[in-house]
Amino acid sequence: MQNATLLAIAGLFALQSATGAVGQEIKRHAVHLPKHEARTAYTVQTVSVRAGCFPERLRAILSHIAAKTGRRPVITSGHRPHPRRHGSLHGKCLAADIRMPGLSERTIIAAARSAPGIGGIGTYCNGIVHVDVGPQRRWVDC
């Protein structure tokens, strides 16, 4: 019986040593995620959407839109290595097409307009909104 008691006390001591002393705060170390794993202010619609090359200016615009609306934009199109239109900013990774389910196009556009550094804002008939960091311009493509 005495051996069992000593074994139990030794087990408790080992457990206490491993988890920190009783009554003392356990120090938690900050976890720093690699840049590619950090939470972003947007999400991509599919794994094939290329958004990793977005410059800080474009990420700031998407973050601003997320902050103003309370929702993360869904990127439907980012970098296009072979854009359909000559001169498209998608080819330079300076543009994003977004949608935000549950929000009106008008709400998304208002948030984009107020973003510092916003360039172009375009809308399409399917409800997708284009934002970029190029020259300031507006268009509707229906």
- pTM, rounded to two decimals: 0.71
What residue spans of the chain are helical by DSSP H?
2-19, 56-69, 105-113
Give the Cβ contact number of residue 11 at 10 Å. Answer: 10
**43 DSSP assignment:** E
Residue 6 in domain: no
Please tell me the distance from the alpha carbon of residue 40 to that of residue 56, in angstroms, as a whole number: 12
**Domain span at 119:** 35-141
Q: Which residues pair with 130 in a beta bridge?
A: 97, 122
**37 DSSP assignment:** G
Please check the confidence at residue 27 and state whether its pLDDT lies above 70.
no
Please check the confidence at residue 32 and state whether its pLDDT lies above 70.
no
Q: How many domains does the chain have?
A: 1
What would the mean pLDDT of 130-142 be, rounded to a whole number?
95
The token pair at 46 is: 């599919």
Mean pLDDT lowest among 7-11, 27-31, 115-119: 27-31
* pLDDT score at 110: 97
Q: What CATH number is attached to the domain comprising 66?
A: 3.30.1380.10
Residue 23 in domain: no
What would the mean pLDDT of 17-25 be, rounded to a whole number?
48
Please tell me the distance from the alpha carbon of residue 48 to that of residue 71, in angstroms, as a whole number: 22
Residue 114 in domain: yes
